[in-house]
Amino acid sequence: MLSRGVLALMCCALNLYAQAPAKKPITPEMLYSNKLFGPLPPPAIAWLPDGKHWLQAKGKVLHKVDALTGASEPAFDEAVFRKSLATVQGLDKQQIDTLIRGSGLNADPERTGALVDGGDGLYFASFAGTKAVKLAGQNRQFTSFSPDGHNIAFVRAGNLFTVDFKTQKETQITNDGGGDILNGKADWVYEEEIFNRNGQAYWWSPDSKSIAFLRFDDTPVKKFTIAKPFPAHGESEIYGYPKPGDPNPTVKLYAVKLGEKPVELPLGDRTPGEILISRVGWTPSNEVYAFVQNRVQTWLDFVIWRDEKPNVILHQTTEAWIDDPGEPKFLSDGTFLFLSERTGKKAISHYSANGKLIKALPSVGEVKEVLGIRGDKLFCLTTAGSPNGTALEILSINNGTSLCPKSKVGTHAIQLAPLSELYLDRFSSPTQPPVLTLNSPDQQQIRKLETPSSPSLEEYAFGRYARLQIPVQGGTMEAAITYPPDFDETKKYPVWMLTYAGPQSATIKDVWSTRLFENVLANLGIVVLRVDPRAANGHGVKYSWPTYKRLGVEELKDLEAAADWIGAMPWCDKSRIGISGHSFGGYITAYALTHSKKWSAGIAGAPVTDWRLYDSIYTERFMGLPSENEKGYDESSCIKAAKNLHGKLLIIHGLIDDNVHFQNAMQFADALQKANKQFELMVYPRARHPIFGRHYQELQIEFIKKTMLK
């Protein structure tokens, strides 16, 4: 018999349970609401050159912060800087306030002032409050300081210019730019596929006396026309866009000493129109180097120009394609460190000045980024903790040993301080919102930085999230499941699969996210499976090589295995499995619905529908030339297989997409119509490759509800 006290406690517990508020559902409206959902990120920080201080916005003013103590002071006298900014023509109060907070402040290396865009050109506003000095007119791009801060360079109308700070004298370096000729500025395909969407194509020498730059001639490049439906008579956008097998831009490398004329750096027996220059830089001794590749990117030469003559230091190949390995790191003795994927996994090797291998530097994880060198120590980001995350790993250059400072499994974004071993660690994981700490290899965490307060997520009905690996013949795939909040194993559920699937483009990452889209679907009663085929995972490029010259084929086999795996779950209604993705994810969705019967519905966002329609540099890297791989191009085509469409398909595309042309959707639609296949199509007249907005989000949700929910 229960005692009176126990009965009282039970009644109290039941009463509390009855009064506990129900969790709020995560609704589609949250996808397009301006309301903050989730924690605020830690503050943005930029190290100062002394390695002891950093810059950080606090309140409405930029502060200089002592790294070890946290003591701070304004980075400049606000009132004094305002005096200088007030002399810049065309700046309003709101713009001045933004600059005072440090947002987008382009300060000179000595931090005596900053470049400011005024209404009639470029000014230098002094932190000392003196009158701002006009340096250049309008219509500039890619403005940068020389390392010593005595000059700036920029591109205007396809030509490269410099300006002397003391005299404000402008010097035009090139004179032939404009139209199809670009100096110091990348054309469309180089900016998109080689320079990571940064169009600057000039580089200062370490001694600030010279500039290396690329000259692009797009005359041979075939033009593509985008028809814009606005205004009343429409407009056309015409630009160079080489498709597979088309002529690429003719690219030449130049160097110029300030005050002299540019000199073309010879490429030896290589023809400018038949090669790619995928990286340019300078050695510490002020020699130009570049990575030169054949157009299909099966080899890479590391070239250094000595006395204006090309010297091939390294020649790299792999079993398939070769990507830009990143900046070589030069040591004080003339040797250098080089990141390579030739073995199928990114790793660092130490070479002599003439390219002779000294030794490999083994690491616990695959090297993702080289952060810096401090004495004998090489600081790297690797996958030491998890193939889906990053961790700091410190390699000894001399003896090849490895040190992994103790850290939690997840994603560590490291900012290494100049001149010291201090580093900022911006850490998060699927269960841990971002935190920022100051660390050293010896002392580990020195202090935790304050993170802005954020609204709690406890009141919302998040579905259970589980990370897993799906078995597939010869290995495993990385995946994650989000279950409905009220998931019941005795019931039947539809499944919606999310993927991207592009080579070495993982979407399963050990990083914090509210997974808002997944949780919206989960709250509707849909199980969400996010999956990366092996070609897309973070385990090394060798897992992507089986897709070489036949994109889509191997990735689809893995996705089919994932659909079979989840379809075998007793709670899964395998007649209701859908799939979606955007860009390459849109391609693999369209490919899946035309080459398989595993899915009952799919949303293909901005899909490539035949690789002959995409740009030359990306496509040829993975597919080779159409003239040499016709079978592979046909095998990878959605258009060629349109007659085999299975399931309900929604195609979404931006009409003025300059990356994956709307032409892809139209040619696919034409093939589907000829095959008498029904499908849905939504066109966004003002959208380019990314698509945003409420209409877009609601469109996807409603299509998924219509095809997945009974």
CATH of the domain at 472: 3.40.50.1820
Give the separation between CA 614 and CA 176, rounded to whole angstroms.
30
Give the separation between CA 516 and CA 499, rounded to whole angstroms.
15
Q: What is the mean pLDDT of the segment spanning 400-415?
A: 90
Residue 431, domain member (yes or no): no
For the record, the structure tokens of 191 come out as 């900016």
* Residue 665 in this model has a pLDDT that exceeds 70: yes
Residue 448, domain member (yes or no): no
Q: What is the mean pLDDT of the segment spanning 272-281?
A: 94
* Residue 200 in this model has a pLDDT that exceeds 80: yes
Q: CA separation (Å) from 672 to 349, 413, 558, 665, 669? A: 51, 45, 25, 10, 5
* Residue 11 in this model has a pLDDT that exceeds 60: no
Buried b (16+ CB within 10 A) or exposed e, 178-198: eebbbbbbbbbbbbbbbbeee
Residue 392, domain member (yes or no): no
Selection from 216, 268, 225, 269 nearest residue 247 by Cα: 216
Selection from 373, 293, 284 nearest residue 334 by Cα: 284
Q: CA separation (Å) from 491 to 487, 488, 576? A: 8, 6, 14
Residue 249, domain member (yes or no): no
* Residue 21 in this model has a pLDDT that exceeds 80: no
Asked whether the beta carbons of 245 and 630 are under 8 A apart, the reply is no
Give the tens place of pLDDT for each residue, 339-352.
999 889 999 999 99
* Residue 49 in this model has a pLDDT that exceeds 80: yes
* Residue 403 in this model has a pLDDT that exceeds 60: yes
pLDDT tier at 332, thresholds 50, 70, 90: very high
pLDDT tier at 103, thresholds 50, 70, 90: low
- The structure tokens 């897309």 sit at 536
pLDDT tier at 20, thresholds 50, 70, 90: low
Region of 197 on the Ramachandran plot (φ > 0 left; ψ -120 to 50 alpha; else beta):
left
Distance of CA 295 to the CA centre of its chain: 23
* Residue 457 in this model has a pLDDT that exceeds 90: no
Which residue segment(s) compose the domain that 662 sits in?
Answer: 465-708
Determine how many CB atoms are found less than 10 A away from the CB of residue 504: 16
Cis check: omega of the bond before 242, within 30 degrees of 0: no
SS (H, E, C) 295-335: CCCCEEEEEEEECCEEEEEEEEECCCCCCCCCCCEECCCCC
Specify the DSSP element, H or E, that contains 142: strand 141-145
Q: What is the mean pLDDT of the segment spanning 639-663?
A: 98
Give the separation between CA 605 and CA 682, rounded to whole angstroms.
10
The tally of domains found in the chain comes to 1
Q: Decide which of 499 and 452 is more confident.
A: 499
Give the separation between CA 678 and CA 36, rounded to whole angstroms.
39
| Cβ burial, residue 149 (10 Å; 0-12/13-18/19+) | middle
pLDDT above 70 covers a percentage of the chain that reads 97
Give the separation between CA 458 and CA 514, rounded to whole angstroms.
12
* Residue 483 in this model has a pLDDT that exceeds 70: yes
- The structure tokens 């040591």 sit at 331
pTM, rounded to two decimals: 0.94
Residue 97, domain member (yes or no): no
Residue 459, domain member (yes or no): no
* Residue 18 in this model has a pLDDT that exceeds 80: no
* Residue 141 in this model has a pLDDT that exceeds 80: yes
Q: Which residues contact 234 (CB under 8 A, 6 or more apart)?
A: 227, 228
Q: Which residues pair with 294 in a beta bridge?
A: 275
**DSSP secondary-structure letter at 74?**
E
Asked whether the beta carbons of 517 and 31 are under 8 A apart, the reply is yes
Asked whether the beta carbons of 679 and 497 are under 8 A apart, the reply is no
What pLDDT score does 678 carry? 98
Beta strand ranges found along 383-522 (DSSP E):
391-396, 402-403, 411-416, 423-429, 432-440, 444-448, 465-472, 475-482, 493-498
What pLDDT score does 5 carry? 44
Asked whether the beta carbons of 136 and 160 are under 8 A apart, the reply is no
Residue 682, domain member (yes or no): yes
Give the tens place of pLDDT for each residue, 106-128.
899 989 999 999 989 999 999 99
Mean pLDDT, all residues of the chain: 93
Q: Which amino acid is residue 537, in one-letter code?
A: N
Give the separation between CA 545 and CA 605, rounded to whole angstroms.
25
- The structure tokens 């990735």 sit at 555
Cα angle 218, 171, 91 (rounded to 5 degrees) comes to 90
For the record, the structure tokens of 141 come out as 């791009």
The pairing of beta strand 357-361 with beta strand 347-351: antiparallel
Region of 686 on the Ramachandran plot (φ > 0 left; ψ -120 to 50 alpha; else beta):
alpha
Look at residue 674 and give its three-state secondary structure.
Answer: helix
| Cβ burial, residue 79 (10 Å; 0-12/13-18/19+) | exposed
- The structure tokens 């190290």 sit at 47
DSSP secondary structure of 540-563? -GGGTGGGTT-TTHHHHHHHHHHH
* Residue 604 in this model has a pLDDT that exceeds 60: yes
Residue 514, domain member (yes or no): yes
Asked whether the beta carbons of 174 and 159 are under 8 A apart, the reply is yes
Question: Computed from CA positions of residues 235, 241, 244, 245, in that sequence, does the dihedral angle turn out positive or negative?
Answer: positive
What pLDDT score does 452 carry? 76
pLDDT tier at 3, thresholds 50, 70, 90: very low
Give the separation between CA 360 and CA 338, rounded to whole angstroms.
10
Give the tens place of pLDDT for each residue, 222-237.
999 999 999 999 999 9
Strongest mean pLDDT among 117-121, 169-173, 538-542: 169-173
pLDDT tier at 383, thresholds 50, 70, 90: very high
Give the separation between CA 653 and CA 665, rounded to whole angstroms.
7
What pLDDT score does 546 carry? 95
Asked whether the beta carbons of 357 and 349 are under 8 A apart, the reply is yes
What pLDDT score does 17 carry? 39
